Structure 1
Amino acid sequence: MAGGPSAKTWGLIGVVTVVVLATTGVWNPWPNVWSWITESDPIAPDAATWQTPIGGSPQSVTITGGTVVVEYRTSVEAYGITAGVQLWKSDADWAGVAGGDGDAVVVTGRLLTKGYEVLDPATGVVRRRDTAATAVWTYADAILDLRCPKGGECELSAWEPHGSKPMWIVPTPGIGFVLNASNPDLPDTQPLAAAGVDAHAAGPRALPNLIGLPGDGKVQIVDTAQGRVVQTRTPARDQRVSVVGSRVLTVTGVARDGTCYYSVVAHDPPSGRAVWERDGLNLRTADNGSDCAQERDPVGGSDVVLGVDPYGRPELIAAHDGRDLWHGDDGQAVLAVNNSYALIRSVDRKTLTSRSFSRGRTAWKRGLKDGASAALTPYAALVADPEPARVTALSPRTGEVLTEAKTDAKVFAAGPQGLILVSGRDMAYLAYRTATAR
């Protein structure tokens, strides 16, 4: 015969006792137990200044002044950069940051609803409301919005981030309702994709000299300094128009003999004269299929484009005058490029070289692990190693290590003083060791 209660009985007695104590308010262990179960692992052990849970998987993260702005699918939040404390939260279907550190604002809106709000990034207080715009673009020095009060008869307005009156308004007929919500795609350049780094990590860029508004099979070229349409281009079926810096590039791709034959012509609005042209230059706007359909914008900065010559070698071209800024060897690859620098992987994939366009030579070199990716932002050159996972931020000018961490988290933002990393529903801040040397 058994000498006492079984282990299962004692376990049941223990559970009943805890439930009774919890329901009577004597002792409740469940919050601590749940906290232990849901406690997040450190994103960057011994490297992060702070780590905090956030409201979900972010669409974008932007560092501006003392604030970190996090955009989700249905809301936007702001956190203090000093300690990661949440400052405010607002419902929104899209959000963007305009302006710089001293005059930054957060622009928010709703899908399928005209208008937007301009918020203070530190408090969430509404500074300005609009009730008519269908599309908004946010830049480091301006806000552009598009409104179409008479169907296809639209107008584009430019605002200073803190402005209460538009700097200019220009009619843009024929656009219709093709463009909507926050930062809809325009025919310009796109950044190179980098695993481990979000496409928006560099933050808002400066307002370009020219922008192209697509609609009704045409592209209207707007001079943003003067606030006027300076040219309207209608590309043929085998052409793609991209606005790069102060030039309008027309890329033609003709299918022949089972391959694509490319040519590029750069025009200067408003005169419309051709400034330079190149046969055989492939800006990688299409896959080499049978129809040569051009469905992508060129890769590059706001005045630099990445191309491939007829022999398959990469080259970087100044859009303003067509100069070769760098011409690579077969097997080299450009991992990242902006207006100032390019990060280039060697043929043996073991060396990363930074090319300075202003100096016309190599800025620095460092070893590179197989499978690593790289990205460029105004404040840091970023290298993400896959195995073992590591993120390194370097000075774009000197290659000095600003910060590094063993982590598989994604870099969502690079600011003047540090990086924001996101893993799951947690966000961490990595401060630089020294001030950035841009």
Structure 2
Amino acid sequence: MASGGPNLKSIAFVGVVAVIVLATTGVWNPFPRLWSWIAQTEPIAEGVATWQTAIGGSPESVTITGGTAIVEYRTSVEAYGLTAGVRLWKSDADWAGLAGADSEAVVVVGRLLTKGYEVLDPATGAVRRTDTAATAVWTYADAILDLRCPEAGECELSAWEPRGSKPLWTVATPGIGFVLNASNPDLPDTQPLAAERVDARAGGPVPLPHLIGLPGDGKVQIIDTAQGRVAQTRTPGRDQRVAVVGSRVLTVTGEGRDGTCYYDVIAHDPPSGRPVWQRDGLNLRTAEGSGCKQGRDPAGGSDVVLGVDPTGRQELIAAHDGRNLWRGQEGQSVLAVDNAYALVRSADKKTLSARSFSGGSVVWRRDLGAGATAALTPYAAIITEKKPARIVALSPRTGKVLTEARTDATVFAAGPGGLILVSGRDMAYLPYGSSAAQ
């Protein structure tokens, strides 16, 4: 028998209508608090982070300079104070890069498919300099390089001090502008080894190298950045790849024979072009997969490259003179390397060792969890572990713990005083010297 009273669906419908009416008339609105409760996030590093704040989206990069964190998104850039995580300013931009350091630092921003860029003050967002002609910009710890192409096939590369108003030098670089654009386009040099949950740019801008290579029209122009001149032009063959490492130009040749690839590396000294050293059988892992086609740069620091010898053992080579800085035993692998240190995982994958190139020995060791990865920045060696999810920052020199936290967030920046971690749309700052009980 049907009941004559209202059913539960009717009551619920009337209740929802009443709430909507009250909210729209301004009498009572529960939705902001309700959404705040739904969107509430967990702490990124509880007991370790000095602050955590919601940011404008998933960042492309985060860079620490002085007391400011610069956050780059796809269509904007923001600055946050390191003291309390308060947003200082925002600018509409499609790309951004940090140049300089400390009091000389600036933020370079621009738009895709639009010539020119602006140089902003990182603390206030105020415009310090405007350019209307450059098509590509590179930002370094001590300089800005920009490329402009006023006519087809004719381009100019200029170097600036980060806060300078006049270029330090300008050099003609014909025939390359159409392949290079926006912020920090890839150049033929070395690349950092990948580490899970650590952004490849976490260490911030690097110093301007003595040599850079500008690719285009099937050639690589080698630019002497101290003199502001083209030191050499190299035309790699179909089976070759050129990489500029430190003060040398490396030419890697990979030839397919008998179902395998045979490699050799020659290091040249510009501008003379004379070979300085050569290694047959050295694989710098510039080819992807089983083929010999070379599609990527070698891994390493600005003057160190990581290779594999014909027996499959990894080794680190000084690009300047070809010396072996380290040759691994079977099963050992390099997880991270820069010009000063290498982080090496043992064959049983249970120990991480830090080797100093200046001393030529192991300076510290640490137990390593299963699936752990590592990265090197100028300020911290960073280890990420999976079970439990954890991040540990160590002094590269001594192995002393700077900070650690149980978190599955990603390290986006490592500065002189701490780490910036991002999880979803939340960002947190972990100062060195902070650590939760583990």
For this structure pair, what is the TM-score category when the shorter chain's length is used for normalisation? Answer: over 0.9
In the alignment, what sits opposite 2:193? 192
Aligned counterparts, 1:243-262, within 5 A: 243-262=244-263
Between the aligned partners of 2:86 and 2:129, the Cα distance in structure 1 is 25
**CA shift at 1:19, angstroms?**
4.0
Between the aligned partners of 1:96 and 1:235, the Cα distance in structure 2 is 30
Between the aligned partners of 2:58 and 2:417, the Cα distance in structure 1 is 24
In the alignment, what sits opposite 1:418? 418
**CA shift at 1:174, angstroms?**
2.1
Letter in 2 for 1:60: S
In the alignment, what sits opposite 2:391? 391
Aligned counterparts, 1:34-433, within 5 A: 34-287=35-288, 289-290=290-291, 292-433=292-433
**CA shift at 1:11, angstroms?**
4.5
Kept in 1, the 8 Å contact 2:98–2:107? The answer is yes
Between the aligned partners of 1:295 and 1:307, the Cα distance in structure 2 is 16
1:84-103 deviation per Cα after TM superposition (whole angstroms, max 9, x unaligned): 11111111111100000121
Kept in 2, the 8 Å contact 1:414–1:420? The answer is yes
**CA shift at 1:48, angstroms?**
1.1
Distance 1:18-1:178 versus aligned 2 partners, 3 A rule: closer
Kept in 2, the 8 Å contact 1:255–1:261? The answer is yes
Where 2:32 maps in the other structure, the secondary structure is helix
Between the aligned partners of 2:173 and 2:185, the Cα distance in structure 1 is 16
Where 1:156 maps in the other structure, the secondary structure is strand
Kept in 2, the 8 Å contact 1:313–1:327? The answer is yes
Where 1:123 maps in the other structure, the secondary structure is coil
Between the aligned partners of 1:133 and 1:377, the Cα distance in structure 2 is 30
Letter in 2 for 1:367: D
Kept in 2, the 8 Å contact 1:47–1:405? The answer is yes
Kept in 1, the 8 Å contact 2:148–2:177? The answer is no
**CA shift at 1:6, angstroms?**
6.0
Where 1:148 maps in the other structure, the secondary structure is strand
User: 131-140 or 25-34: which moved more?
Assistant: 25-34
Q: Report percent identity of matched pairs.
A: 76
**CA shift at 1:306, angstroms?**
0.2
**CA shift at 1:424, angstroms?**
0.8
Letter in 2 for 1:314: Q
**CA shift at 1:38, angstroms?**
1.1
Kept in 1, the 8 Å contact 2:302–2:338? The answer is yes
Between the aligned partners of 1:234 and 1:176, the Cα distance in structure 2 is 17
Where 2:103 maps in the other structure, the secondary structure is coil
Where 2:408 maps in the other structure, the secondary structure is coil
Between the aligned partners of 2:204 and 2:58, the Cα distance in structure 1 is 18
Letter in 2 for 1:242: A
Distance 1:5-1:76 versus aligned 2 partners, 3 A rule: same
Kept in 2, the 8 Å contact 1:192–1:337? The answer is yes
Between the aligned partners of 2:238 and 2:21, the Cα distance in structure 1 is 76
Between the aligned partners of 1:121 and 1:132, the Cα distance in structure 2 is 23
**CA shift at 1:25, angstroms?**
3.3
Distance 1:14-1:174 versus aligned 2 partners, 3 A rule: closer
Between the aligned partners of 1:349 and 1:162, the Cα distance in structure 2 is 46
Kept in 2, the 8 Å contact 1:260–1:288? The answer is no
Where 2:178 maps in the other structure, the secondary structure is coil
Where 1:147 maps in the other structure, the secondary structure is strand
**CA shift at 1:178, angstroms?**
1.0
1:207-228 deviation per Cα after TM superposition (whole angstroms, max 9, x unaligned): 0000001111111111101101
1:114-151 deviation per Cα after TM superposition (whole angstroms, max 9, x unaligned): 11110111111111010111110000000000011111
Where 1:427 maps in the other structure, the secondary structure is strand
User: 340-349 or 264-273: which moved more?
Assistant: 264-273
Letter in 1 for 2:171: V
Distance 1:26-1:174 versus aligned 2 partners, 3 A rule: closer
Kept in 2, the 8 Å contact 1:379–1:396? The answer is yes
**CA shift at 1:13, angstroms?**
5.6
Kept in 2, the 8 Å contact 1:259–1:288? The answer is no
Between the aligned partners of 2:18 and 2:179, the Cα distance in structure 1 is 65
Distance 1:236-1:3 versus aligned 2 partners, 3 A rule: closer
